[in-house]
Amino acid sequence: MELTVVWYLRMSLIYFVAGTIIGFGMLLWPSESGYFIPLHVHLNLLGFMSMMIYGVGYHILPKFSGTVMYSPLMMKIQFWVANAGMIGMVLSWPFAMGAEASLSNAVLMISALLSVIAVILFAINMLKTLKPV
């Protein structure tokens, strides 16, 4: 398995552990949980599930298509973009809820944009890869 793919899977599992620990923390401190719901949701769904799908997808979908990946370089760039976006969203989201939180809001917007770019890079790479056998 290629190193970048391994790192997609490793990061996915790290986000899974973080997401579920935060979920448990939300049960322990329900009065604070409102700040952490978006964090919990996106660590689990964008961090764990999407990152797992990126890794497994890059590894297996070209094989299913009987071809090679359109752009391994794009996969490597997407790894950094997706993780910068995810980590930025995690660090800024709990602080970006108040109207005065302008720096956190700016970080959140940039990180969210990086996450969207990562999704688009994955989609382009896979759309260019997938072909009927």
Which residues here bind ligand HEM, judged by CB under 6 A? 20, 23-24, 26-27, 33, 37-38, 40-42, 44-46, 49-50, 112, 115-116, 119
CA distance 85 to 109: 9
Helix (H, G, I), strand (E, B) or coil at 41: helix
Residue 133 C-beta: closest distance to ligand HEM, Å:
29
Two tokens, residue 109: 């917007």
Nearest residue (CB) to ligand HEM, 15 versus 62: 15
Residue 4 C-beta: closest distance to ligand HEM, Å:
20
Residue 37 C-beta: closest distance to ligand HEM, Å:
5
CA distance 113 to 122: 14
Helix (H, G, I), strand (E, B) or coil at 80: helix
Residue 130 C-beta: closest distance to ligand HEM, Å:
20
Burial of 64 (0-12, 13-18, 19+ CB in 10 A): exposed
Contact between 115 and 86 under an 8 Å Cβ cutoff? The reply is yes
Nearest residue (CB) to ligand HEM, 68 versus 106: 106
